[in-house]
């Protein structure tokens, strides 16, 4: 069979080819399956645990009897309880609500289509609620400076008004960054913290490679720009600032450039649903300068 590493290698190399063809490069283009990234994420996890921002909790989770496994958030699909559109177990693309898989209506296992049962398991949780006032203050500040896009401000104000909810930061997955706690090594650090910590691990990797000091990236006066789609707003306006505050770093995102969705025939572009215009294909028809201009206007 094909291993997860084989797939990761294939797409990493394809992304690099596409970037070169589009005419841009990174000073440091890293991977989240590297030993350096794993160590950095585990250190951040342990720091948050030591500071009391992460705790253990027994919870109910979707379990597929057919696949004989607990289902991570994105492995559960159903109907959003808020807007009644189709949604994944972590977030609704239609209304941007942050979800728990058990909140979904008409739940199905993404792997086999069967209806999952509910079983108890133990997970680690990130105490987001303790950062409520700091995130509220951050949003009030950027409303004055105008350094976050309106959609980021409005969504984050909504999350704050609803009250920040603690989020699971571990999952029963076969691959990923192992929990660095004795007895829990089979569980993995979940994407809520692991993915955004990639910014931190990349800066550390860059510093090691160049001999430069990366601390200026994480000082409170750092002028940072985070460019992403609007479905990633909560990761950058709530989750990542809370992680940085939790480990004692002051560089809350200064500029959030949260783009609206790209669409194809009025439907949201989605690589997971194979509804997309692929870079190798569009490069066959258009000049890289034209493509970059189109995507930034």
Task: Confirm whether 93 is domain-assigned.
Answer: no
* 108, part of any domain: no
pLDDT(54) > 90? yes
Helix (H) or strand (E) holding 258: strand 255-259
Nearest to 250 by CA among 224, 232, 225: 224
Q: What is the pLDDT of residue 10?
A: 96
Distance of alpha carbon 236 from alpha carbon 253, whole angstroms: 7
The whole-chain average pLDDT of the chain stands at 94
Counting the structural domains of the chain, the total is 1
User: What average pLDDT does range 70-82 have in this prediction?
Assistant: 93
Q: Confirm whether 291 is domain-assigned.
A: yes
Structural domain includes residue 119: no
pLDDT the model gives residue 151: 96
Q: Is residue 26 part of a domain?
A: yes
Comparison of pLDDT for 19 and 297, the residue scoring more: 19
Span 48-61, average pLDDT? 96
Domain that holds residue 141: 4-54+128-296
Share of the chain above pLDDT 70, in %: 100
- Look at residue 242 and tell me if it is in a domain: yes
pLDDT at 176 over 90: yes
Residue 222 located in a structural domain: yes
Tokens of 277: 């215009």
| DSSP H helical ranges for 23-121 | 35-50
Q: Report the CATH number that the domain containing residue 217 is assigned in CATH.
A: 3.40.50.620
Decide if pLDDT at 25 tops 90: no
* Closest C-alpha among 177, 205, 174 to residue 191: 177
In this prediction, residue 191 has a pLDDT band, given cuts at 50, 70 and 90, of confident
106 lies in some domain: no
Per-residue H/E/C for 123-177: EEEECHHHHHHHHHHHHHHHHHHCCECHHHHHHHHHHHHHCCCCEECEECCCCCC
């Amino acid at each position: 069979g094909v291993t997860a590493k084989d797939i990761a290698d294939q797409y990493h190399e394809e992304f690099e080819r596409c970037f070169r063809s589009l005419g841009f490069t990174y000073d440091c283009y890293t991977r989240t399956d590297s030993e350096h990234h794993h160590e950095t994420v585990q250190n951040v996890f342990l720091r948050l645990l030591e500071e009391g921002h992460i705790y253990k909790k027994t919870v109910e989770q979707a379990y597929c009897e057919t696949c004989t496994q607990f289902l991570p958030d994105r492995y559960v699909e159903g109907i959003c309880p808020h807007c009644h559109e189709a949604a994944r177990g972590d977030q609704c693309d239609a209304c941007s609500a942050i979800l728990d898989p058990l909140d979904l209506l008409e739940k199905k296992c993404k792997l086999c289509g069967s209806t999952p049962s509910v079983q108890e398991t133990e997970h680690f949780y990130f105490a987001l609620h303790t950062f409520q006032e700091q995130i509220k203050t951050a949003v009030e500040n950027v409303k004055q400076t105008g350094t976050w896009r309106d959609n980021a401000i409005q969504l984050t104000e909504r999350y704050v008004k609803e009250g920040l909810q603690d989020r699971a930061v571990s999952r029963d997955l076969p691959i990923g960054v192992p929990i660095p706690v004795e007895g829990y090594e089979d569980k993995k650090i979940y994407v809520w913290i692991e993915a955004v910590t990639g910014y931190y691990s990349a800066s550390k990797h860059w510093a090691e490679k160049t001999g430069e000091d990366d601390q200026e990236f994480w000082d409170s006066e750092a002028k940072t720009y985070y460019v992403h789609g609007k479905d990633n707003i909560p990761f950058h306006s709530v989750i990542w600032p809370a992680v940085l505050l939790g480990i004692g770093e002051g560089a809350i995102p200064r500029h959030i450039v949260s783009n609206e969705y790209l669409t194809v025939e009025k439907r949201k572009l989605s690589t997971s649903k194979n509804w997309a215009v692929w870079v190798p294909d569009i490069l066959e028809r258009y000049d890289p300068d034209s493509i970059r201009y189109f995507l930034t206007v």
